[in-house]
């Protein structure tokens, strides 16, 4: 249990960080460093704020990554994503910022993030970013989020 003693958020009460800048992404050792495998996090109810109007924006995020030495501790990720609720940024900035922050903390072999944003001003905006080519032979399922089709 000593390898987890430095975790500050897991197993106890942890409030929502005031902003993404102060949110802490925690990691734990990758139990299968010798194996390339995919980890997927899905956040179907992601929320941020439009920096111009102050109105809420909503997205379905899908984060896929191949870990190296560490993996993201999921409660800290949940709190990090929740810290965007009162953060003003455009769709593109939020999506890429999240991907880059995970890369900064975990140094994965590969990461991609899909931000499937609900329409603002009648236009859905989908944002995709990845770090490079995925490891050879890795099974990468489709992200499973259909493009926005409105009411039809």
Catalytically active residues, by annotation = 50, 57
How far apart (Å, rounded) are the C-alpha atoms in residues 37 and 68? 10
As a whole number of angstroms, the distance between CA 6 and CA 28 comes to 9
Q: What is the Cα–Cα distance from 144 to 116, expressed in whole angstroms?
A: 11
Q: For residue 30, report the phi and psi dihedrals to the nearest 5 degrees.
A: -75, 120
List, in order, residues 6 or more apart from 65 with CB less than 8 Å away.
38, 39, 72, 102, 106, 108, 109, 110, 111, 112
- C-alpha neighbours within 13 Å on the C-beta side of residue 96: 7
């Amino acid at each position: 249990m000593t390898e987890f003693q430095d975790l500050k958020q897991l197993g106890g009460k942890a409030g929502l960080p005031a902003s993404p800048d102060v949110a802490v992404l925690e990691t734990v050792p990758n139990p299968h460093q010798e194996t390339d495998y995919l980890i997927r996090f899905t956040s179907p109810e992601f929320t941020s704020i439009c920096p111009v109007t102050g109105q809420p924006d909503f997205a379905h995020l899908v984060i896929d990554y191949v870990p190296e030495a560490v993996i993201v501790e999921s409660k800290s990720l949940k709190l990090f994503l929740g810290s965007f609720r009162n953060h003003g940024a455009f769709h593109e900035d939020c999506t890429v910022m999240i991907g880059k922050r995970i890369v900064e903390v975990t140094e994965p072999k590969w990461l991609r993030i899909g931000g499937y944003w609900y329409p603002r001003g009648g236009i859905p905006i989908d944002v995709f970013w990845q770090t490079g080519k995925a490891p050879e032979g890795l099974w990468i399922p489709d992200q499973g989020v259909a493009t926005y089709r409105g009411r039809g």
